[in-house]
A and B are shown apart, each in its own frame.
Chain A
Amino acid sequence: GQQVKQSSPSLTVQEGGISILNCDYENDMFDYFAWYKKYPDNSPTLLISVRSNVDKREDGRLTVFLNKSGKHFSLHITASQPEDTAVYLCAAGNQGGSAKLIFGEGTKLTVSS
């Protein structure tokens, strides 16, 4: 089965609102969690990543929340803007185990003005 899941294939948010993107994972050995942004016909680019020793990390308008007991992490984008419209991919992995990241299917975020 899919080890990293994004249950919402799409999300629409009004400009200025908060976008909340969710990701669930199965492997409790994962210790790296990341969010990537992907425009159509472009490759993914890293937005923000956290290790399992923190519950939260902020970077400008972006905040990642990690809930290890619930095997869940989320990305919050405050003051959402039309240019935030893209596909957001969550990813998780275990550096001690192997080098691989497992990606979710992606959530298409649309910020409407």
Chain B
Amino acid sequence: ETAVFQTPNYHVTQVGNEVSFNCKQTLGHDTMYWYKQDSKKLLKIMFSYNNKQLIVNETVPRRFSPQSSDKAHLNLRIKSVEPEDSAVYLCASSDWGANYAEQFFGPGTRLTVL
């Protein structure tokens, strides 16, 4: 099956803890993204990697750090989570050369910070 996979689906944690989210795509794409979907359902880009190289790094708190081992994987680590980090985190991928705007999304990881 070719798609974008994310784990975990849900995660509940306490303020100050560290969390890691995983994303893998089997579509053969060379560009991957992390988005944050807030309580108002607005999607905001956080990071983008093209062939393991960081190409977009929006103004996000320094406790957020992306990690890419190869072009099929892009993980997201959050050190010392805050209540405002509660959101759905969506991973996506695209083929930069063909149509970068055609982005394929994973199912999302819902983070709840207590």
**A residues at B contact (CB < 8 Å):** 32-34, 42-46, 49, 87, 89, 91, 93, 95, 98-103, 105-106
Contact = CB atoms under 8 A, between A and B. Distances in A.
Contacts of A95: 96, 100-101
Contacts of B100: 32, 93, 95, 99
Interface string B33-69: 1000000111111001010000110100000000000
B31 to A, nearest CB: 6
Given A89-B43, A103-B43, A105-B42, A98 B99 contact: no
A87 B41 contact: yes
B102 interface: yes
Given A34-B102, A43-B108, A99 B43 contact: no
A46 B102 contact: yes
Contacts of A43: 90, 105-108
A64 B42 CA distance: 22
A63 B41 CA distance: 25
A49 B94 CA distance: 13
Nearest to A102: B45
Nearest to A103: B43
B103 interface: yes
Nearest to B46: A100
Contacts of B108: 43
Contacts of A98: 48, 55-56
Contacts of A49: 99, 101-102
B41 to A, nearest CB: 6
Nearest to B110: A41
A105 B55 contact: no
A99 B105 contact: no
14 contacts: A32-B100, A32-B101, A33-B101, A34-B101, A43-B107, A43-B108, A44-B90, A44-B105, A45-B105, A46-B101, A87-B41, A93-B100, A99-B31, A100-B45
Contact of A105 (B40, B90, B106): B40
A87 B43 CA distance: 13
